[in-house]
Amino acid sequence: MSSRKLKQRIQDILEIGAEIGVFTQGMSFTDFEEDTKTVRAVLYNMAVIGEAAASLMPEVEVAYPEIPWVKIRAMRNIVIHKYFRVNLEIIWQTIQTNLPPLLIQLQELESRLSD
């Protein structure tokens, strides 16, 4: 896989991750849980992030082990395959706790990749 293709995938994930932040900005968990449109938009975006991560070659995971690729793909699988039983508290916790540092890691990775 060329670094250009990798960089595009990373940019996709960064854009979608930022979008999740916009969708949930200023919300409490209760606000989130009660807003069906936002919940569905976030779940869709999490699935897309997982798809983007899953489309990367195995060498990428080896080359950048600091990125939790397995967890990203696992979240996608949960959102897609357990969609009616998704635990929104876990999704919220992921948005609040895990997504911001992931986006920082991916921004750092993106800056190391050549155009």
Question: Using one digit for the tens of pLDDT, what is the confidence trace for 35-49?
Answer: 999 999 999 999 999
> What is the tally of structural domains in the chain?
1
Between CA 105 and CA 111 the distance in angstroms is 10
Between CA 44 and CA 24 the distance in angstroms is 14
With respect to residue 51, please indicate whether it lies within any of the assigned structural domains.
yes
With respect to residue 114, please indicate whether it lies within any of the assigned structural domains.
no
With respect to residue 115, please indicate whether it lies within any of the assigned structural domains.
no
Active-site annotation holds for 112: no
pLDDT above 80: residue 12: yes
With respect to residue 85, please indicate whether it lies within any of the assigned structural domains.
yes
Range of the structural domain that residue 40 is part of: 3-109
With respect to residue 62, please indicate whether it lies within any of the assigned structural domains.
yes
What is the per-residue pLDDT for 115? Answer: 56
With respect to residue 92, please indicate whether it lies within any of the assigned structural domains.
yes
With respect to residue 21, please indicate whether it lies within any of the assigned structural domains.
yes
Active-site annotation holds for 81: yes
Residues 52-106 have pLDDT tens digits of 998 887 888 888 999 999 999 999 999 999 877 899 999 999 999 999 999 999 9
Q: Choose the catalytic residue: 4, 40, 73, 81.
A: 81
